[in-house]
Amino acid sequence: MVRFFTFERYNFAEQLTLRPVLIMSATVGRLDANYEKRTQFITADIESRIVRRSIKGEDRIVIAESESVSIGAVEQIIQGVKGLSVYRQYLRMLDKRDEARTALIQSMQYNPKATRNELKRLVSAHYTWLYKYDKNWLYQILPATLKITKKQEHD
């Protein structure tokens, strides 16, 4: 899609695949015209609230909406605090772990006589995640393995 704009004696096409802001600012600069830029001021108070909420593990989109800043601004603040990004990854991992553990325990409660393979089929994504990242807990909670013995044939 191409839009055409006319500024006094200048005509140019703005292609939406390019960065319209750069095109517009370059054109306005050539014309010596003024235009309104959207600027965003983040005070130290807003920044400290964003950091506190990030430490609590709140979603960056929710923080951005409530503080009336962009998601990119929130991400920049999070990246600017040493170790905060890694800590947030750890919090997400703990949430996934708790979700997977809960799903497995509920599945075991609904199917008390289920074998390991049956549980694996019932909650395969959670079982796989626990196997990769929480194997010790998984093996402690799973039912004992069944020992398969060959029946000896008698003559």
Question: Two tokens at 115?
Answer: 């074998």
The pLDDT of residue 65: 92
- Asked if 70 and 40 touch (Cβ cutoff 8 Å), the reply is yes
The number of angstroms, rounded, from the C-alpha of 125 to the middle of its chain's C-alpha atoms is: 18
Tokens of residue 25, six digits: 């600012």
The continuous run of DSSP H or E covering 42 comes out as none
Q: How confident is the model at residue 17 (pLDDT cuts 50, 70, 90)?
A: very low
Of 104, 103, 100, nearest in space to 92 by CA:
100
CA 10 to chain centre: 45
- If pLDDT is split at 50, 70 and 90, which confidence band does 104 have? very high
DSSP 3-state assignment of 34?
coil
Residue 18 has pLDDT above 90, yes or no: no
Give the residue-averaged pLDDT of 15-27: 56
What is the rounded CA–CA span in Å between residue 128 and residue 120? 8
For residue 152, what pLDDT is reported?
56
The pLDDT, as a whole number, for residue 15 is 42
Whether 64 and 87 have beta carbons less than 8 Å apart is answered as: no
User: How far is it, in rounded angstroms, from Cα 83 to Cα 52?
Assistant: 14
